[in-house]
Homo-oligomer: A and B are copies of this chain.
Amino acid sequence: MAERSAPRTARERVRAQLTAEIVEVARTHLGTSGAAALSLRAVARELGMVSSAVYRYFPSRDDLLTTLIIEGYDALGEAAERAAAAVPASDLLGRWLAVFTAAREWALARPHEYALLYGSPVPGYSAPQDTTGPAGRVALLLAGILRDGLASGAITAAPGDDEAIILPGLLADLGLPEDTNLGTRVVQAWSGLFGAISFELFGHTHNVVVDHEKYFHEVATALAADAGLPSLG
């Protein structure tokens, strides 16, 4: 298991590359056809190999999907982090809105991949446990903004029941106090963010909202206000 990250032998190198190629082709197919239509055999065909050969790299179709999910969470998280980092750290509302907008734009650019992350869980019905890390990156960003605001005094947290609602260890990890409602507000904003994106992307606001961008901005600022962010960053 040592030196897993640095493939020494030629065999390991070509295996790593072929694995990456399979994922890449799969993501392309995912983007055009959707997750339900993703066929392991079609991926194999496009790579010029027979279907059973793919099973040397992924034990099942669901494992391939899980890889796509993890990479998707990572890509989305990185996009949000980059967008937030481009805003002055003191501009709390600006960072908040940057995270929201980046997440929406990432989703709009690849709806099927987004649906894989935040739609119905497709592999069986068990939430993949090893995806919790990458999946939380966006929420981490939002929590970080609140923590910074708390430290700088820009935010005065309202008293609340966080310790009874949010997993206590998580609050500690996030650096948030236990007797306020900041943790709840973070989760609410997180859930509201992807709820809004899902509603737009899955067509629920079709024939309801005419200016989706403006609506989204409205939701983002409302959630920011709920979390205690002052209107002027």
Contact = CB atoms under 8 A, between A and B. Distances in A.
A208 B167 contact: yes
B210 A165 contact: yes
Which of A139, A161, A196, A209 has most chain B Cβ within 10 Å? A209
A179 interface: no
A222 B164 CA distance: 17
Given A127-B203, A206-B127, A209-B167, A191 B214 contact: no
A207 B132 contact: yes
A233 to B, nearest CB: 20
A187 B215 contact: yes
Interface stretch (A18-26, A43-51, A117-125): A117-125
A60 interface: no
A192 interface: yes
Contact of A210 (B116, B125, B166, B191): B166
Stoichiometry, copies per complex: 2
Contacts of A112: 125
Given A191-B204, A195-B194, A184 B215 contact: yes
Nearest to A160: B218
Given A194-B195, A198-B195, A204 B135 contact: yes
Which of A116, A139, A195 has most chain B Cβ within 10 Å? A195
A120 B191 contact: no
Contacts of A214: 161, 164-165
Interface in A126-166: 127, 132, 135-136, 139, 161, 164-166
Interface of A: 34-36, 111-112, 115-116, 118-122, 124-125, 127, 132, 135-136, 139, 161, 164-167, 170, 181, 184-185, 187-188, 190-192, 194-196, 198-199, 202-211, 214-215, 218-219, 222, 226
11 contacts: A36-B122, A119-B120, A120-B120, A135-B204, A164-B210, A164-B211, A166-B215, A170-B208, A188-B218, A192-B195, A198-B198
